[in-house]
Amino acid sequence: MRLAVTTSFHNSGLSDLLLPAIRADLGLHVQLLVVGTGQALRLGRAGDVDAVLVHSKTAEDAFVSAGFASHRRPIMYNDFVLIGPASDPAAIRQASDVKEALRRIADAKVRFVSRGDDSGTDKTERRLWAAAALQPETFDPWYKSLGMGMGASLNTAAGLNAYILADRASWLNFGNKRTLVLLFSGDPALFNQYAFLPINPSRHPHVKWAAAAALEKWLAGATAKALINDYKIAGQQLFIHNAQH
């Protein structure tokens, strides 16, 4: 079966752990299409994949209510973090919450790199700016909207010595950090829920509905829970399993 997942999920390295286990337990060969949330939902809508695993609740709810997926099953969450130059010119280390951190960046007019690719991370970032009562469209040239994936955006941020919003997993697995360090995290507003959405067979009769259902059950189950909660990079837990039985 084919599963569209977000770059942030794949870059975390978790898929390399889960796929062999799925194969061993279910005898299911899952082919991953690693794309942004926006494109993942498009692939699902066209019936080109059998299920999607993404993280953007608003878009997912719209997807379900339009009938493209039969339902939405929350699986786990991780969190977003603010990355920036170690010198931290905007002093966001001292911010009390993420809104303040973003305001400090806007006030200091320091370079900020945005995914700009309509991905889940991108949508979260825009939601956070809005929550801080700021409009990225009005920003001076210091705000760079790229239209690229997480890895490419991190590479760009490293090159520009800029601030960027990234998911923790992608950040920890990223190999080209240069002068960038993690500057701010922990605000509940930064939590990032991943959900599994099987494509509705009444829309696309050819989808592998049974395989998707088996995978969903497995992801929500105890084996997946243990694997996900125990997955660590540099001693840090990345994901917290929160699927309801």
Partner 1 sequence: MNDIWAGLEAAFWLIVTLNTDLLEITLRSLQVSLTALVIASLIALPLGTWLAIRRFRYRRATIAGLNALMGLPPVVVGLIVYLLLSRSGPLGVLGLLFTPTAMIIAQVIIITPLIASITHQAIRELWADYHDLLISLNTTKKQRIMTLIWDARRTLLTASLAGFGRAIGEVGAIMIVGGNIDHATRVLTTAIALETSKGDFALALGLGFVLIALALAVNFTIHALSRTERDSTW
Q: How far is the CB of 10 from partner 1 (least distance, A)?
A: 9
At closest approach, how far in Å is the CB of 181 from partner 1?
A: 15
Rule CB under 8 A: say whether 210 interacts with partner 1. Answer: no
Among 1, 2, 95, 117, binds partner 1 (CB under 8 A): 2
Q: Which stretch binds partner 1 (CB under 8 A): 101-109, 167-175, 182-190, 218-226?
A: 167-175
174 touches partner 1 (CB under 8 A): yes
- Tokens representing 145 are 């909207």
Q: For residue 50, give the amino acid letter.
A: D
- Which one of the spans 54-62, 169-177, 185-193, 211-219 is the region binding partner 1 (CB under 8 A)? 169-177
Q: Which residue has the tokens 């699927």?
A: 243
**Which residue blocks in the chain are alpha helix, DSSP H?**
7-11, 14-26, 37-46, 57-65, 98-108, 120-131, 150-160, 168-173, 209-220, 222-230
> CA-based angle 244:72:63, to the nearest 5?
165
Residue of 28, 32, 181, 214 that binds partner 1 (CB under 8 A): 32
Distance between CA atoms of 90 and 83, rounded to whole angstroms? Answer: 12
Give the nearer residue to partner 1 in terms of CB position, either 124 or 173: 173
Q: Residue 66: which of 41, 37, 48, 38 has the closest Cα? A: 41
Chain residues in the site for partner 1 (CB under 8 A): 2, 7, 11, 31-34, 45-48, 149-152, 154-155, 158, 173-177, 204, 206
